[in-house]
Amino acid sequence: MWERPGREPTVLLCHATGFHARCWDAVTDHIGGQRSIAMDMRGHGRSSKPEPPIPWRTFGEDVAAVVKGLGLRGAIAVGHSMGGHSIALAASLMPDAFRELILADPVILPESHYRGAMTEPHFARKRRNRWSSWQEMRDRLSGRPPFDAWDEQVLDDYCEHGLLPAPDGDGFVLACPPDIEGAIYEHSQARESNIYAEIAKVTVPVTVIRSPRPFAPGPPTDMLASPTAPDLASRFAKGEDILVEYSHFIPMEAPEYIADQILRRLPSGSGV
């Protein structure tokens, strides 16, 4: 978990599969003196690395547990991709914790897609998992899609904080092991990942921000496409739907846009 002290209400940020808390630094830089807390989700960043698979509901339950432990009330929650799924579930479990949710292209699929976990390994399991330095990782990724469209600071933070010392002392390894990342993707369409019953219980305002790039059923191979159900906002009691020109990686491509969405939702007098 990464915290910046500041004014209330707290802004809680949850990252996508394969990412980590410090990917939000460029966003929190733009919201000034607001208290912000970014989580390293289970299996990611500096959090524990359990044996996969990790059920998707576990991430939402983890967010709820952190919220309870911190005693958060009336926070603004921001989640990208898997983080959006997690925040939506946590909001149903801790109804007083949040005043508003911002879901950036959340992995909440059309309900008909929840047919069962994938039977074939996801390509994320084949990610390169050994680096001499974060600078080598950045040089390797820079200029390649999807990283070529990312904000420069986000790419720096993703690489610098996305590696851990290798257990054998030889260089660095990914802070989200490829087997964990792959297993999460493989279970995104599992029946138990369907949280529409919980979504119906969320009463706070929810803004769904999504990419217009269409997502096809089956194994996710186009990582730029939006996995978000087009009608998701209407499934919340107070949902708003916003289409943007970015890909699925909205916070990486446009951190200032996400920061602006947060600032607009702060109570009068609390923002910068």
**Rama region for 71: left / alpha / beta (φ>0; ψ in -120 to 50; rest):** left
pTM for this predicted structure: 0.95
Neighbour count for residue 132 (Cβ, 10 Å)? 10
Domains along the sequence of the chain with CATH: 2-113+191-264 (3.40.50.1820)
Average pLDDT, consecutive stretches of 10 residues, N- to C-terminus, the chain (272 residues): 95 98 97 95 97 97 97 98 98 97 97 94 96 98 95 98 97 98 96 98 98 73 90 98 97 98 84 50
pLDDT digits (tens, 9 = 90+) for 14-51: 999 999 999 999 999 999 899 999 999 999 999 999 99
- Taking the C-alpha atoms of residue 145 and residue 142, their distance in angstroms, rounded to an integer, is 8
DSSP string across 35-59: EEEEE--TTSTTS--PPSP--HHHH
Task: Answer for the pair 14, 41: CB distance below 8 angstroms, yes or no.
Answer: yes
Residue among 249, 185, 253, 188 nearest 213 (CA): 249
With contact defined as beta carbons under 8 Å apart, do 55 and 180 qualify?
Answer: no
